Amino acid sequence: MQDTEMFLSLAEIAGVFVGFGALISVRSGGASDAHEVTYIRSVVSAAIWVVIAALAPVIVSTYGVTGHQLWLVCSLLALALLIGQWIVNERTSESRELGAAYSRPQTVGVMASYLGLMIPTIAALVLIVLGLFPGQEPALYLTAVGLGLFLGALSLLMLVFSQRRPRAASDPAALPATGGSSA
């Protein structure tokens, strides 16, 4: 398979996103609100999907599977994982809590960006499954994996911009609680 190095590089980059998501989730006792938890979950989910989808053709091709069969197997796996992650992520309490927030004007752009990446990702994989463009299947699959990486990057960007400002030292709520009596 000629794109082995490209897929391995995408998997490595996605692995960094998983690390960022994990690091952000454990800092200061973890995420505190539904937006933050949802964005962390999106970053990690997208990145893990990219790692698996990027490694799939490398691993499957070692069994001698080539051509349409290689891309068909990998696309079916990628679609199943993508749909599975979406179902699991949508069933969380944080996602249900954010359901009403998605109708607000400030989140319309975020949702449009998300769908703008998700729809072509799914479309590329479905085109492979249907076998409509046999000469373009490696490019379509690489496009889907690349869009998945962009989706993870968008989620990470949304997470960064959703962060609250740190409290000023003069804010009494910012001071640590003293569990004992004063002398």
Q: Tell me the per-residue pLDDT of 101-117, one tens digit each, with 9 for 90 and over.
A: 555 555 556 667 778 88
If pLDDT is split at 50, 70 and 90, which confidence band does 56 have?
very high
Cβ neighbourhood burial of 58 (10 Å; 0-12, 13-18, 19+): middle
The residue that leads in pLDDT, 68 or 101, is: 68
What's the mean pLDDT in 91-95?
67
- Domain-wise residue ranges, the chain: 4-99+107-164
Determine the pLDDT at residue 156: 80
Determine the pLDDT at residue 82: 93
38 Cβ contact partners less than 8 Å away, ≥ 6 residues apart: 89, 92, 94, 95, 98
Please tell me the distance from the alpha carbon of residue 95 to that of residue 102, in angstroms, as a whole number: 10
Find the DSSP H helices in 2-136.
4-26, 34-61, 67-90, 93-98, 105-130
If you write DSSP's letter for every residue of 117-173 in order, what string do you get? HHHHHHHHHHHHHHTS-GGGHHHHHHHHHHHHHHHHHHHHHHHHHHPPPPPPTTSGG
Instruction: Kindly tell me if the per-residue pLDDT of 51 is higher than 50.
Output: yes
Percent of the chain residues topping a pLDDT of 70: 66
pTM of the model: 0.76
Instruction: Kindly tell me if the per-residue pLDDT of 42 is higher than 70.
Output: yes
